[in-house]
Amino acid sequence: MGVVKRIDYDVAVISGQERVGASSMAEQILRNIGPIVLLGPPGAGKGTQSKRITEHYRIPQVSTGDLLREHVKQGTALGIQVREVIARGELVPDHLVCDIVAWRLREPDAQRGFILDGFPRTETQAVWLDSFLKFEFFDNGIWAAWLPIVLRIQVDYNKLLLRITGRRTCPVDGTIYNIYSNPPRVDEICDKDGARLVIRDDDREEVIRERLDTYERQTKPVADYYQRLGRLVVVNGDQPVDDVTACILKEIEDKAFSVNGSK
Ligand code: ADP
Ligand code: ADP
């Protein structure tokens, strides 16, 4: 792909949110984890698992869906540009998403590693990510290795609809619930902060089908790309949340610490 174009300055402002605590002494002695990529169809559990990995390793979750929704909510120039695309369940153009990711990954809290959730979603994004990681983190001497650990969460297509239609999210802290498999203690209310849970605009049945089709057409090739390079690990997402987390952490432990030590 060509050079990623610069977009509005407001990307920088939003990308600074969701930071993991600044560089404390404790953080200085934590090990480098490196980049982790979570792939999988809508509803596979990427957001749920990312939040757990974030807490475990104290590295940030970088969700392009969350970043884009924040732009829409704040009515930035980018948000206005992408609102309709997201509402239709289609993908936002590659150069816009790559630019948001570049801004976010340059933040100080991402220098030990990060989890990419919902990115890359096209082969163009995957190729861009490889060259970005190599240039920013390896050539610049931050990490001894730069290849992302790529985990695909696999869930049967028929179960995804129920997962997505049952999804409820806390607008304050981002906790993800499911009215069937993981309901809050009080209907529609977040257990942690008492906020009223919301249903995402694009979690309507007609849009969900479009998103699942988009995934089949455009994001499956991303998994094929990593598979061809021998870098894809498949995790069974059709088991209790804790078990999925255990499988993911095991894969990370096996891979990350053998390659991504500090330089
Ligand atoms: P994604 O980010 O891949 O779209 P989410 O993490 O938002 O997926 O999960 C989609 C829905 O499925 C949420 O309602 C979540 O609570 C539920 N969910 C996530 N993981 C599991 C699981 N292992 N078993 C049952 N439900 C799950
Ligand atoms: P889900 O959690 O259901 O997989 P996301 O929250 O990741 O969905 O994404 C919501 C929407 O944001 C997508 O349907 C798409 O319109 C847009 N989007 C998110 N990430 C990307 C990306 N990497 N490339 C293009 N569009 C994206």
The full 3-state SS of 199-261, as one line of letters, equals CCCCCCHHHHHHHHHHHHHHHHHHHHHHHHCCCEEEEECCCCHHHHHHHHHHHHHHHHHHHCC
Atom of ligand 1 nearest to the CA of 166: 14
Q: Mind listing the pLDDT tens digit of every residue in the chain (263 residues)?
A: 333 333 333 333 344 334 444 444 454 456 788 899 999 999 999 999 999 999 999 999 999 999 999 999 999 999 999 999 999 989 999 999 999 999 999 999 999 999 999 999 999 999 999 999 999 988 888 887 788 999 999 999 889 998 999 999 999 999 999 999 999 999 999 999 999 999 998 898 888 988 999 898 888 899 999 999 999 999 999 999 999 999 999 999 888 665 544 43
Pocket test for ligand 2, best of 91, 162, 178 (most atoms within 8 A of CB): 91
Q: What is the pTM of this model?
A: 0.85
Of 163, 167, 168, 255, catalytic: 167
Dist. CA 44 → ligand 1 center (Å): 6
Active site includes 121? yes
Q: Looking at the chain, how many residues does it have? A: 263
Atom of ligand 2 nearest to the CA of 211: 14
Q: Is 41 in the pocket of ligand 1 (CB under 6 A)?
A: no
